[in-house]
């Protein structure tokens, strides 16, 4: 079976800020150049998929860098929310109550970012939808229900090294980060 592929434009923009060109202005220009607003409809629920960071770390995109993106989305007439899924391992991000508190401790607060934090796979990772697909390794993917219910998704990813896959980024943020615990277990152990 052939899998249809499409290409999307990839934008690089030097976001180095200066007093004459602050970050907020530069990111707004980038978003306008990308024409993302033309893809959105007023009232759309837009998932802003990111990673809220582990306790005691700084390996996440700062909420102050995400705020101008949320502001741009809100001015476009949509309703953005920041989202991630619970982890497979036990810890501060293993269930939604502690996960939301962890996000808040790292500054992901609606009063700062302008968007609420919604853990997309629910309290205990049971808000999932089984999505059939013609994949090489799996017949179904188990994805977070609230991500699939969103009208649109934007991914904001930090670059990282990973002990198993080398370098990780947006593909890992989407592939692993949109999966429920069952989907994460499948990816780790199902081959």
pLDDT in tens, 150-191: 999 999 987 766 665 556 677 777 888 889 988 888 887 865
- Phi/psi of residue 186, nearest 5 degrees: -60, -45
Residues 87-111, mean pLDDT to the nearest whole number: 91
Quick one: pLDDT at residue 166?
Answer: 57
Among 10, 5, 69, 59, smallest CA distance to 34 is for: 10
Q: What is the pTM of this model?
A: 0.86
CA–CA dist 126, 26 (Å, integer): 39
Share of residues in the chain with pLDDT > 90 (%) = 55
Strands (E), the chain: 45-49, 79-84, 117-119, 128-132, 140-144, 152-155, 160-162, 166-168
Quick one: pLDDT at residue 138?
Answer: 82
pLDDT of 103 > 70? The answer is yes
CA–CA dist 30, 69 (Å, integer): 10
Quick one: pLDDT at residue 167?
Answer: 63
pLDDT-based confidence at residue 75 (cuts at 50, 70, 90): very high
User: 41's torsion region: left (phi>0), alpha (psi -120 to 50) or beta?
Assistant: beta
Residues 36-56, mean pLDDT to the nearest whole number: 94
Quick one: pLDDT at residue 114?
Answer: 97
pLDDT-based confidence at residue 1 (cuts at 50, 70, 90): very low
Residues 16-43, mean pLDDT to the nearest whole number: 91
Query: Computed from CA positions of residues 159, 171, 115, 181, in that sequence, does the dihedral angle turn out positive or negative?
Result: negative
Share of residues in the chain with pLDDT > 70 (%) = 90
CA–CA dist 128, 121 (Å, integer): 6
User: Tokens 């670059």 — which residue?
Assistant: 159
Q: Do 180 and 148 meet the contact criterion of CB atoms below 8 Å apart?
A: no
Q: Do 108 and 64 meet the contact criterion of CB atoms below 8 Å apart?
A: no
Quick one: pLDDT at residue 59?
Answer: 84
Q: And the tokens for 119?
A: 């853990």
Residues 91-115, mean pLDDT to the nearest whole number: 94
Quick one: pLDDT at residue 4?
Answer: 64
Q: Which position has the higher pLDDT, 58 or 97? A: 97
């Amino acid at each position: 079976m052939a899998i249809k592929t499409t290409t999307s434009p990839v934008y690089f923009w030097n976001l180095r800020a200066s007093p004459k060109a602050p970050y907020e202005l530069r990111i707004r220009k980038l978003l306008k150049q990308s024409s993302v607003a033309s893809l959105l409809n007023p009232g759309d629920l837009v998932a802003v998929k990111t990673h809220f960071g582990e306790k005691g770390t700084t390996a996440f995109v700062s909420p102050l860098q995400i705020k101008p993106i949320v502001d741009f989305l809100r001015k476009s007439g949509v309703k953005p929310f920041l989202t991630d899924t619970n982890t497979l391992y036990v810890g501060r991000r293993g269930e939604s109550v502690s996960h939301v508190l962890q996000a808040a401790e790292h500054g992901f607060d609606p009063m700062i970012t302008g968007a609420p934090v919604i853990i997309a796979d629910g309290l205990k990772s049971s808000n999932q939808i089984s999505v059939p697909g013609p994949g090489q390794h799996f017949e179904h993917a188990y994805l977070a229900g609230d991500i699939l219910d969103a009208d649109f998704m934007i991914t904001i990813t930090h670059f990282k090294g990973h002990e198993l896959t080398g370098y990780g980024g947006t593909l890992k943020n989407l592939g692993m980060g949109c999966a429920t615990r069952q989907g994460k277990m499948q990816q780790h152990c199902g081959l």
